[in-house]
Chain A
Amino acid sequence: MNDLTEKEKIDRRRFLKELGAAGATGLLLASPWLSVFARAGETHRERCRIGVIGTGSRGCFLMGFMARNPKVELAAICDIYQPSIDAALGIAPKARVYKDYRQLLDDRTIDAVVIATPLDRHHRMAVDAFDAGKDVYCEKTLGYTIEECYDIYWHYRNSGRIFFSGQQRLFDPRYIKVMEMIHSGMFGEINAVRTFWYRNNDWRRKVEDPKLERHINWRLYREYSKGLMTELACHQLQVGSWALQEIPDRVMGHGAITHWKDGREVYDNVHCMYVFGNGVKMTFDSVISNKFYGLEEQILGTLGTVEPEKGKYYFEEIPPAPAFLQLVNKWENRLFDAIPFAGTSWAPETANENTGEFILGERPKTDGTSLALEAFAEAVITRRQPERIAEEGYYASALCLLGDQALQEERTVYFPDEFKLDYLNHKSPKQ
C-alpha cells in the first residue's frame, strides 16, 4: 500500500492552497476541473458514503487513499473473489460486503461507487450505477468498445450524476503545471507527441488454481481486455490531447505477439500513430520485452520538450557554459589535439549537457491518484460535476479503443462522427 508521507501531505496541502491563490487562473484555464476544490474549505464537516466494486489490486490501492480521507466513508465493498474481499476488509473493516454489485447499488445509503473490475464489466456496472442514482468513479478504460463508452457518457449526462474516470494524471500537480506552461506557449508550437511504455515482464499474475487463470490474468485475454491499448495507452493518449487541446482524427498502427508466446491473446508489441487534423502526430509504442526506456510522454515543441513522467522540461536553446570553462576547454582541446595518444581528461561541455529543469522544482512524488479521489469526494459532496473531466475520460477511452481497432483491422481508422461529443475540435451530431 502506498502510504502518504507527512511531506507528501504537506505538498498536497500547499498545492491545493496555491490553486486558490493568485496565479491559479492559468492553472484553471489549462485544467478547469480543478475548480472542484474551490469549496474544499467549506466541506470539511461533510462525508460521502462510497461503495467499491472490484477490490482487487487497483480497488484496494484506491481504497487506501479513500480510507485516509475524512470526507469519505468506505461504506460497502463488492467482489466475487474471497481474497480480494479479505484484502479490502483489511482496509475498511466496517464496510458491508456484497457479492453481487446490483445489491450494492440497491443500498440507498451509498452515494457513489468506485468501479475497479476488469474492463469488460465496466459498462454494465457504470450504466446500472447511474440508473440506480449513484455517482460513479470508473477505472479506465471506460468500456470495452467505443459504443459502450459513449453509452456510459450519455447515461451520465442524462442522469445528472457525478462522473469521473481513472485518469489520475488530470490531477497530478506536475502535469497540471506543465500543461499550463504548454498552453501559454512556453515550448512553442507542439508538432509531435511521442508516448511509450516499455516493460520487461510477462504481465502475468501467479495463479494458484488453473481454474482461476482467466479470472486473475484477465488482462491477457481478449474476452476481457484489449491489452496494452486499454491498460496503458489510455493514460498516455489523454496526455497528448490535453497538451494539444485537440482530438486526433485518425489512427493507424500495427500490433503483434513477438515475444510472450504463452497462450495470451493480446499483443505484447504495439505501435500506433494518431494524426491530428493539421498533420501533427502522436505515437504510442509499447513493448514488454525491454524496459530500458521505461515510460514517457515526450511533448515536442519548437522551443522545448516536456517529459512529464520524469517531471522535467528542456528548452531547445540552453545557455552556454561559463566563459571560463569554455576557454579552459578550448586550451585543453588544443593541447590534447597536439598529442595524438591522449584523450581529454576533463570535458567541460558536460556542463553544457541539457539536463532540463524539474517542472515542480523537484523530483515527482505522487501520480495524482489521491487528489483525483479527493476531487471525486468533493464533487459528490458539493454535487458539482467539474468541467471537462467526464469528456477527458471519454476521449482517452475512445482513442485507445480506436487504436486497438486500427491494430486489429490493420487499416487507418477515422474517429466516427456518431461518437463525437461537443468537445474541443469535435462537434456532436447529437447535441
Chain B
Amino acid sequence: MKDTVLTARRKKRELLWLAGAFLLANAINIYAIVSYHSPASELLTSFFYVLTATVVIYLLTLLVRGCVGLIAGTVRAIIRKR
C-alpha cells in the first residue's frame, strides 16, 4: 500500500469545510427555532443534533467534492490523450 501525504494546505482546506458545515448546521438550527417559535435555549440544548448535522453535511461535501474531482480528472485525462 502506498503512503499518502496530507499537505498542510489540504488540512487547512478540510478544516475550513468542516467549519462551514458547522456554521450551516447552526444556521439551520436558528432557522428552525425561529420558524417553530421554539425557545432560544435550543441553541444549546440541540447542540448534539447540530454536531451530528455538521458531520453529515461535511461528509456530503466530501462526497460531492470527490465526485467532482473524479469527473474533472477523467475529463482532463481524456483531453490530454487527444
Partners in one complex: yes
A323 at the interface (CB under 8 A from B): yes
Partner of A322, one of B31, B35, B45: B45
Among A320, A322, A327, A328, chain B packs the most CB atoms within 10 A around the CB of: A322
Question: In the complex, what distance in Å separates the CA atom of A323 from the CA atom of B50?
Answer: 11
List of A residues within 8 angstroms of B35 by Cβ: 323, 327
Which B18-46 residues have a C-beta within 8 angstroms of A?
28-29, 31-33, 35-36, 38, 42, 45-46
- Expressed in whole angstroms, the Cα–Cα distance for A326 and B49 within the complex equals 12
**Is the Cβ of B49 less than 8 Å from the Cβ of A322?**
yes
Interface string of A263-276 (1 = CB under 8 A from B): 00000000000000
A67 to chain B, nearest CB (A): 50
Q: In the complex, what residues of B have CB within 8 A of residue A328's CB?
A: 49, 53
A328 to B35 CA separation, bound complex (whole angstroms): 13
What is the CB-to-nearest-CB distance from A187 to chain B, in angstroms, rounded to a whole number?
Answer: 25
Once bound together, how far apart are the Cα atoms of A328 and B36, in whole Å? Answer: 12
A325 and B38 form a contact (CB under 8 A) = no
How would residues 319 to 338 of chain A score, 1 for a CB under 8 Å from any chain B CB and 0 otherwise? 01011111110000000000
Which one of B32, B45, B50, B53 has the greatest number of beta carbons of chain A within 10 Å? B32
Q: State the Cβ distance, B6 to closest chain A Cβ, in Å.
A: 32
Instruction: List chain B residues, Cβ under 8 A from A323.
Output: 29, 32-33, 35-36, 38, 42, 46
Q: Which of A320, A323, A328 has the most CB of B within 10 A?
A: A323
- Chain B nearest CB from A124 CB (Å) reads 63
Q: Please report the C-alpha to C-alpha distance between residue A252 and residue B32 in the assembled complex, in whole angstroms.
A: 53
| Contact B28 A322, beta carbon cutoff 8 Å | no
Task: Determine chain B's interface SS by DSSP, over half rule.
Answer: helix
Minimum CB distance partner of B47 in chain A: A324
Q: Which single member of B36, B45, B50 contacts A326 (CB below 8 Å)?
A: B36
Task: List chain B residues, Cβ under 8 A from A326.
Answer: 32, 36
CB-defined contacts of A320 to chain B, threshold 8 Å: 36, 38
Instruction: Report the separation of the CA atoms of residues A328 and B31 in the bound assembly, to the nearest whole angstrom.
Output: 11
What residues of chain A lie closer than 8 Å to B53, measured between beta carbons? 324, 328
**Residues on A with beta carbons closer than 8 Å to the beta carbon of B49:** 322, 324-325, 328
B46–A327 contact, CB under 8 A?
A: no
- In the assembled complex, the CB of A310 is this many whole angstroms from the nearest CB of chain B, namely 27
Query: Once the chains are docked, how many angstroms separate the CA of A323 from the CA of B40?
Result: 10
Which residues of A are found within 8 Å of B31, using beta-carbon distances?
Answer: 327
The smallest C-beta distance from A131 to any residue of chain B, in angstroms, reads 66
Against A, the Cβ 8 Å flags (1 = close, 0 = not) of B59-76 are 000000000000000000
Name which residue of chain A comes closest to B36, CB basis: A323
Query: In the assembled complex, which residues on chain B have CB atoms less than 8 Å from the CB atom of A322?
Result: 32, 38, 42, 45-46, 49
B70 smallest CB distance to A (angstroms): 26
Alpha-carbon gap, A350 to B36, bound state (A):
18
Q: Give Cα distance in the complex from A328 to B52, angstroms.
A: 12
Nearest opposing residue in chain B for A326, CB measure: B36
Residues of A close to B38: CB separation below 8 A: 320, 322-323
In the assembled complex, the Cα of A325 lies from the Cα of B38 at a distance in Å of 11
CB distance from B28 to the nearest CB of A (A): 7
CA distance A328 to B33 in the complex (A): 12
Cα of A332 to Cα of B36 in the assembled complex, Å: 16
Q: Which residues of the partner chain B approach A324 to less than 8 Å between Cβ atoms?
A: 28-29, 32-33, 42, 46, 49-50, 53
CB distance from B57 to the nearest CB of A (A): 12
Report which B residues bind A (CB closer than 8 A).
28-29, 31-33, 35-36, 38, 42, 45-46, 49-50, 53
Given A323-B33, A323-B36, A323-B46, 8 more pairs with CB closer than 8 A: A320-B38, A323-B29, A324-B32, A324-B53, A325-B49, A326-B32, A327-B35, A328-B53
List of 4 A-B pairs having minimum Cβ-Cβ separation, nearest first: A323-B32, A323-B38, A327-B32, A323-B36
A sample of 27 inter-chain contacts (CB < 8 A) reads A320-B36, A322-B32, A322-B38, A322-B42, A322-B45, A322-B46, A323-B29, A323-B33, A323-B36, A323-B38, A323-B42, A324-B28, A324-B29, A324-B32, A324-B42, A324-B46, A324-B49, A324-B53, A325-B49, A326-B32, A327-B28, A327-B31, A327-B32, A327-B35, A327-B36, A328-B49, A328-B53
